[in-house]
Structure 1
């Protein structure tokens, strides 16, 4: 690789890295989370959340008074509001001043996530620690699609939850002397791999990292740029419900590339 090519590689990676950090600076993004309240079938008041909340027959019920200042779809909640969030999807948003109370459904359970632009985690965020970019971690692999997409179930960082992924094929690649085969999620034009490796729980987040693969060439060739291995939201907050990597995608090698454990940036020992 020539000097100019190396400079272009580093610059392109830096732009990707800065975009990742800017995404996390969203005032109502994952770093703004301050609480995760699981709901039951008993009406109850949640800590630092107005109104009364409960679940009946797969519907979330909220009772509130005008003074509670709760709004759904631009209308104040005065009396009873019923919400039906979709399984695994982004939640329905109830506004409370400059906060968002996100109502979610995960594995048939319902919860309220509190997004606060004054979150301590958001205010303290100084960036994502990462390995220095290295072209050697751009790996060529071969994608083999399944005849029919399959549903692959993984666990989650929250005990008792499950994630159901659409697996469309496998990718085989070699790092050093080790050949690995992983399951790819997504569709044929937008593949991604959720994985762990020998750095997981040491210098990188233990549950999983994700790397976008994109569309394979007509002959099945793909390129995995492990420099762009990204943390899931759960690496940054205890109030996310992210999946863990499937057993098939637990690499034997140490992928010393991409984003590291965010706590490294805070000087914590892992």
Structure 2
């Protein structure tokens, strides 16, 4: 077995993992992720021959439309706000330090979203639901990754890039849910729809 790139024989102790951290143990084509989510240690096996992967035919999505790419403003909080959200797995919670919020308009209606740290310096991640959730898009959440805001706080909020998280495809994912204030009261008919694996078309 290879753990984090190091060959291991015999017994291996993973020790205490940090929250939202994880280690991959590789055996042949199989990968076993050992991770911590919501204070719980979890083990997730993955294999390229898994039927969910081999039968995957792509995810339906709305046709891109410039209407859904709007210029917004990033408002940083004085200090990051610890924000507790639920998870796709009942009884599990995630805590993120939200650095700020986005303010923007759609069809003249002012809206805002709490942002979480994204992958990469200065990048942001927004989890949200809207009036399409559970109708044409996955009910629990969608995610939108954003580039770092400009020096004046300007940021492009492009809902055409709204994407499903792993929980949209499998009940074995521990994806975070959006905070209550990120439940938009409008229909965002952009981005990825309900996966075919969940009955989407």
**TM-score, structure 1 normalization:** 0.68
Question: Which of 14, 20, 24 is matched with 1:88 structurally?
Answer: 20
Asked if 2 retains the 8 angstrom alpha-carbon contact of 1:192 and 1:214, the reply is: no
The residue number in structure 2 matching 1:120 is 51
The residue number in structure 2 matching 1:75 is 8
The residue number in structure 2 matching 1:162 is 93
Q: Partner of 2:13: helix, strand, or coil?
A: strand
The residue number in structure 2 matching 1:97 is 28
Structure 1's 95 and 142: CA in aligned 2 closer, same or farther, altered over 3 A?
closer
The alignment covers a number of residue pairs equal to 196
Deviation digits for residues 52-85 of structure 1 (CA, Å, limit 9, x no counterpart): xxxxxxxxxxxxxxxxxx55431222xx321123
The residue number in structure 2 matching 1:54 is none
Tell me by how many angstroms 1:178 deviates: 2.3
**TM-score, structure 2 normalization:** 0.89
Q: Partner of 2:12: helix, strand, or coil?
A: strand
Q: Partner of 1:122: helix, strand, or coil?
A: helix
Deviation digits for residues 177-206 of structure 1 (CA, Å, limit 9, x no counterpart): 422111111178212211110001111111
Q: Quote the RMSD (CA, aligned, Å).
A: 2.0
| Runs of 5+ unmatched residues, structure 2 | none
Largest Rg, 1 or 2? 1
| Runs of 5+ unmatched residues, structure 1 | 1-69
The residue number in structure 2 matching 1:189 is 122
The residue number in structure 2 matching 1:198 is 131
The residue number in structure 1 matching 2:141 is 208
